[in-house]
Amino acid sequence: MRTYFPRALLLSILRPSSCASAFSLTTSKSSVATSVSPAPSLLRLSRGGASAPSSTTLNMAERPFQTWTFDKACDSMDWNPDSHVKLIVGNDNSSEDADLILVGVFAPPKEEDADEEEGEEEKELGPLLLEGKAMELDERLGGLLKELAVENGKEFKNGGEAGGVTTAGRVVDGGKAKRYILLGLGPQPKDPIDPVTAMKIGSALASSIHSHKSITKASVILPSQFADDSIIQNLSTAFHSGLYSDNRYRTGKKVEVLAEKVETVSLSIANSGGDYTSAIQSGLNLARGVSMTKDIVNAPHNILNSISLANTAKRLAIESHGCITCEILGKDECEARGMGAYLGVARGSETEPQLIHLTYKPKSGEIKKKVGIVGKGLLFDTGGYNIKTAMMELMKFDCGGAAAVFGAARAVSHLKPEGVEAHFVVAACSNMINSKAVVPSDVLTASNGKTIEVLNTDAEGRLTLADALVYTDKELGCESIIELSTLTGACMISLGTKICGVWTENDDLAKSLEEVSKVTGDKSWRMPMAQEYKEQLKSKIADITNLGDRYGGAITAALFLQEFVSKKKPFAHIDIAGPVWDTKSGATGFGAKMVAEWIRRQGE
């Protein structure tokens, strides 16, 4: 059963009079609170709910979901619930009442003297490496596991690929039908298992329990190398993220709950009396952040606009039980600060801009660092008067930076890192066209006083970010700032769809981001902040233009942003245009883990 946050309750908490300490509403009341409509009598149908109503019986209560009224923008976005499947710590007997048993196996060590010239496929596979519990089990099952490895031959590679699985061997044991499958753990590691391998195994677990339709309880047998909190946390994050399914805009049979019948998956780790419950929980908390990121990126623009994103941020603060506060600046507050670049972009849309600011403060202890995380929050990018001629339908993902930032905030609100105060800033708006929209050649003045000649209205992200950066740097006084945005098609051309680009002049910041990227699996690559290209941003009429040459467009975008952060302040621009989206599965959740882990490390 899906659970929804009751809108009536949410609204009552949102009202300034009942403001909890967790949540400080500033002068923005006008723009957000008044846009909130009365709660409908019933919000949503749950899965398998009432059958489709005929047109004569259709009423508000039976509408499967509500998007908008003709004249009013949608003011809230649903969140997908956590998966119903429980990942738990098992024991030696856990496989007894399971109906699917996954047995983890490392690949046999490679023969040292194997001829380097020989193709991978031609190398003889070593015998299957069954140890401990797996070996006992194989003996009890009369060699079934070994047989599975043989049967699945080359594809399974005796476990050589982390996350590879065999077909299932079926047996009836004590009157109960059971399936056994082998789960590849990759080559037997000399060092501790790396985080990415742990994640591959978590994802494989999620897809296996989904593909074996009738099972209710799964048990996973893992060797002693998995007896480690951080490995189990990574496994758990990937497992829970792998069960994400976006059902918010589906009805009836289209609703797809992954691993629907599965109740529990228990992890039994060899020679380990360890309790990994809290590692599993931390993994789930990170996955909740990733899910938030996906929810924001996947939501279409008629549902997620600047107002509904602001309300999403408020709900995030409310659900944080006091560790996150939310402040929203409306149009007037932004105007008072002279945020002409941001407001210039926002002008073309009927939905008013919302500058969203979430603050995380640990409940106790000394704060060692105050950091700022800025995200590009274009809820849709038509290009404006320089209208897009390609890929416009993908531009709901132009809030991918904001999504990563809020996803990280959600994870942080559960994980509660110490020693760090984090400010999450998103200047939310949409790049649309009306008679008020900016036209190419307009000159805008940003809040640091710099004038910008808009030579292309489609280079709008950097305009909104300019004011968001000045706010984070000067008004909030953050000591170091990272910023994530789906900023340029050029970055996608350079790095493809799996890797984000990182621009910073600060080597320590570059190093910390690189390390975090490696452990979270959100891949990154440092790019040059090539000052020699800065002359491309010279304007005939203003201080700077928003458009560089065609080549190296991702670099000139980074150079532009740098103009809006104090010179010596550690600052990194992260272009995530490529990895936010997967053509097959949609939002990837990219960036949430990276930002959350970066924040945690800042407090160490």
* Token code pair at residue 116: 């380097």
Q: Does 522 bind Mn ion (CB under 5 A)?
A: no
Alpha-carbon distance values, 359 to 320, 353, 412, 426 (Å): 11, 19, 11, 12
> Which of 99, 228, 295, 381 lies at the binding interface for ligand BES (CB under 6 A)?
381
Q: Which residues of 349-373 are buried (b: 16+ CB within 10 A; e: fewer)?
A: bebbbbbbbbbbebeeeeeebbbbb
Nearer to Zn ion, 398 or 473 (CB): 398
Distances in Å between the Cα of 165 and the Cα atoms of 102, 112, 409, 562 are 9, 26, 35, 47
Binding residue for Zn ion (CB under 5 A) from 104, 417, 461, 552?
461
Cβ neighbours, 10 Å, residue 88:
15
- Nearest distance from residue 557's CB to Zn ion, in Å? 10
At 164, list the tokens.
């590879």
* Local structure of 2: helix, strand or coil: coil
Distance of closest approach, residue 379 Cβ to Mn ion, in angstroms: 12
Q: Any bridge partners for residue 329, and if so which?
A: 355
Question: Does 410 qualify as catalytic in the annotation?
Answer: no
Q: Which of 179, 462, 593, 600 is catalytic?
A: 462
Angle between helices 277-298 and 592-602 (to 10 degrees): 130
Radius of gyration for the alpha carbons in the chain, expressed in angstroms and rounded:
26
The interface with ligand BES within residues 461-480 (CB under 6 A) comprises 461
Q: How far is the CB of 579 from ligand BES (least distance, A)?
A: 11
Q: Which residues of 529-555 are buried (b: 16+ CB within 10 A; e: fewer)?
A: beeebbebbebeebbbbbbbeeebbbb
Asked whether position 486 contacts ligand BES by CB under 6 A, the answer is yes
Among Zn ion, ligand BES, Mn ion, none, what binds residue 333 when CB lies within 5 to 8 Å by partner kind? none
Query: Least CB distance from residue 391 to Mn ion, whole Å?
Result: 10
Among 381, 421, 522, 563, binds Mn ion (CB under 5 A): 381
206 binds, among ligand BES, Zn ion, Mn ion, none (CB under 5 to 8 A by kind): none
- Footprint of ligand BES on 220-279 (CB under 6 A): none
Is 575 a binding residue for Mn ion by CB under 5 A? The answer is no
Residues 395-424: x/- map of binding to Zn ion (CB under 5 A)?
---x--------------------------
462 is catalytic: yes
Closer CB to Mn ion, 327 or 483, in the complex:
483
| Least gap, CB of 419 to ligand BES (angstroms) | 35
Please work out the total of residues on this chain that contact ligand BES, with binding judged by CB under 6 A. Answer: 17
Q: Is 143 in a helix, a strand, or coil?
A: coil
Among residues 453, 458, 522, 597, the one that binds Mn ion under rule CB under 5 A: 458
Distance, in Å, from the CA atom of 340 to the CA atom of 245, rounded to the nearest integer, reads 39
Contact region with Mn ion (CB under 5 A), list: 98-106, 154-162, 223-231, 450-458: 450-458
Residues 397 to 456 in contact with ligand BES, rule: CB under 6 A: 398, 456
CA distances from 111 to 115, 118, 123, 125, 526 (A): 9, 12, 9, 9, 36
Query: Which residues of the chain form contacts with Zn ion (CB under 5 A)?
Result: 378, 381, 398, 461
